[in-house]
Amino acid sequence: MGIKIALAGNPNSGKTTMFNHLTGSSQYVGNWPGVTVEKKAGKLKGHKDTEIIDLPGIYSLSPYTLEEVVTRNYLIEEKPDVIINIVDSTNIERNLYLTTQLMEIGIPMVMALNMTDVLRKNGDTIDVHKLSKYIGCEIIETSALKGEGCKEAAEKAVVLAQKKVKARPSHMFFEEVEKVLSAIADLIKDVVGQDNLRWFAIKLFERDQKVMEQINLPQERQDQIEKLIEQIENELDDDSESIITNERYNYISGIVKECVQKKNTSKMTTS
């Protein structure tokens, strides 16, 4: 059976440019089932049995836009073998918000750190080795515009897919939140697959209505989950969705501080 590679990233991260580069003329365009969102797929050049699916450009895997729902349903239900997450290196803080969520789905993933030509031109640097360790996935620096690194990213993706190296997010939420996530995971582990367990636990913690409907838990377990969530909301004096969102932002801003050196800011701090 062939390999399915999904391209995921923010709008304007260079996804289309990368997709065109990797597939050449072997593209086919359709719609995602039931919606008028364009679906593009193609064959990886030189790999007849490797299909690349270009997912809609999105900022998050929340249930609030059609594009987000199409993307997450595809990732959860169709289970591509590997994700290439295209990240705009010149806008990394915003882009990593999606990255941290993609990592939680449990599909092998490689990051294509794109627009590195612009990054270099701006005189900014990213410590890729550190970033890779913090995020928990391999990173290939690319310039989709110049075609640099694209083939390497795709080849890395093929290897990860063949080895079935599951993404392991290195990010953990606060201890109290992690405790609730484990308790939720325990309550749903016989209903959802082990691979996606963390993703589902986080979504239920966020009271994601679409996911609740999808997994259709017995009422008693839904009530138990709700009680756990209410408890921590009272403790932390915040709603569960904001708890997750805020912690993601804090975590990402910490990573960016550690890994990104902006030319202008470094000048300011050394003068």
Q: Which of 15, 156, 198, 203 binds ligand BGO (CB under 6 A)?
A: 15
Applying CB under 6 A, among 23, 99, 114, 196 the residue interacting with ligand BGO is: 114
Nearer to ligand BGO, 117 or 241 (CB): 117
Residues 155-194 that bind ligand BGO (CB under 6 A): none
Of the candidates 27, 91, 118, 247, which one interacts with ligand BGO according to CB under 6 A?
118
Residue 145 interacting with ligand BGO (CB under 6 A): yes
Identify whether the C-beta of residue 92 lies closer than 8 Å to the C-beta of residue 230. Answer: no
Asked if 143 is part of the footprint of ligand BGO (rule: CB under 6 A), the reply reads yes
Binding positions for ligand BGO, 49-78, rule CB under 6 A: 57
CB atoms within 10 A of CB 268: 9
By three-state DSSP, how is residue 112 classified? strand
Strand order in the sheet with 109-114: 27-31, 38-43, 50-54, 3-9, 82-88, 109-114, 138-141
Residue closer to ligand BGO by CB (options 113, 211) is 113
- Size of interface with ligand BGO, in residues (CB under 6 A): 16
Residue 4 binds ligand BGO, judged by CB under 6 A: no
Which of residues 26 and 122 has its CB atom nearest to ligand BGO in the complex? 122
CB pairs under 8 A, 24+ apart, for 58-64? 58/8, 58/10, 58/11, 58/98, 59/10, 59/11, 59/94, 59/97, 59/98, 60/97, 60/98, 60/101, 61/98, 61/101, 61/102, 61/105, 62/208, 63/208, 63/209, 63/210, 63/211
Indicate whether 17 belongs to the interface with ligand BGO (CB under 6 A): yes
Q: Which residues of the shown chain bind ligand BGO in the complex (CB under 6 A)? A: 9, 11-17, 57, 114-115, 117-118, 143-145
